[in-house]
Amino acid sequence: MSEQSLRDLLKRAVPEAPDLDVAALERRAARERRNRMSVAAGGAVVVAIVAGSLALTTLTLDDGRPPSPSEIATEPPTASDVLDGPVAPYDPPPCPARLPVPAESSHVVPDLGEVAAIRLCPDLNPHGDRAWQPSADQVAQLDDADALVSDLAGFAVALRKIPPGLPDYCADGEDSYERNSFAFYRPDGTRVMVGVAGCEPVTIAGQDVDSNAVRQIYLASLDRQRDTLTYSRPFDDELTCASQERGGPIRPGRERLVAAIACDIPPGAESIPMDLEPVELDARALDELERAWSKPGDPIVRESSGVNECVDLPEPPSFILAGTDRSDVVRLIDSPCGFLVWHGWEDSDGATIPTTLTGLGVE
């Protein structure tokens, strides 16, 4: 392959990052300085992965070939990208604002023995608009996600247990469009991007498996990491009624709520009004919400019909958006049954939160 052909392949595989204005770059730098991770005093326990120790992880999860150009980011690693020494959850470079398009993304999980950290990267451009440009706020939010840095060997073992093939519902055409990517970071700063889409396979050890199963294993691994490691990056962005949920595997009582707004939807509305003004919760209301969040009630269950009348509402419900001490954003739905509803990241998850918008003083 000629040098020019290689350049063309790289350009097609990973779109160039958009030009960002100076203010956006300054905001990112300020955020990084302001939001440095707070780690528990027992740092030797908290920091579990050392680049030099990764050689002990001998599981090979691809077909043994070197990664193709489309699997590696076009940008050469900089000094700040190199993961030298212990790797903490916020250390790896953030996800790219632009993801490879599905047809040009890698679909092969690399050798995890060469990986120091993993991120699940959100699609900021879900409609795939080639002319789309990310806002400075969107780019800044990418700095706030935690990466999987501990028990990568356990993650690898779980991946190898995924049965080959796709779930039966994929054959029925019931898949939903999703375009996210995994970022696998090597200690030298190079990055492998692996596309994740609904009912699209990824290849592990030469076998095609359900990419959504890989996503669930990642979230379960990050969930265990949050139980094991003590780290924090409190949410400090602006919340609006149009804000989207984001972040990792949130659990009531483990992640703390540090900011919240209420979005009170008028009766009869068929959708969330575009100009809906949020009600910011004052300190008293936020404390009350945090107390209720820390002691969730009953799990969400559905009758044999698959319907729960307290949760499955005919009109868009009013809701609360809350930021956590790990920079997640969680949505809590106001139920007519006298509680808020939290939907977890697992299908079996979810719980009642014993308070309401009225109880929090939102009329």
Rounded CA separation 35/236 (Å): 9
Token couple for 238: 């602006």
CA distances to 166, 175, 180, 185, 267 from 171, in Å: 8, 9, 21, 33, 40
* Residues above pLDDT 90, as percent of the chain: 42
Who has greater pLDDT, 233 or 82?
233
Q: Residue 87 half-sphere exposure, CB side, CA atoms within 13 Å?
A: 29
* Residues above pLDDT 70, as percent of the chain: 74
pLDDT tens, residue by residue, 193-213: 998 887 888 999 888 999 889
pTM of this prediction exceeds 0.85? no
Question: What's the CA dihedral at 80, 223, 113, 77 to 10 degrees?
Answer: -20
pLDDT tens, residue by residue, 114-161: 899 999 999 888 777 778 888 888 888 899 999 999 999 999 999 999
pLDDT tens, residue by residue, 210-233: 988 999 999 999 999 999 999 999
In the sheet that holds 351-353, the strands lie side by side as: 279-280, 257-263, 319-324, 329-335, 339-342, 351-353
Rounded CA separation 250/212 (Å): 18
Q: Residue 93 half-sphere exposure, CB side, CA atoms within 13 Å?
A: 25
State the DSSP H helix or E strand holding residue 279, giving kind and residue range, or none if neither: strand 279-280
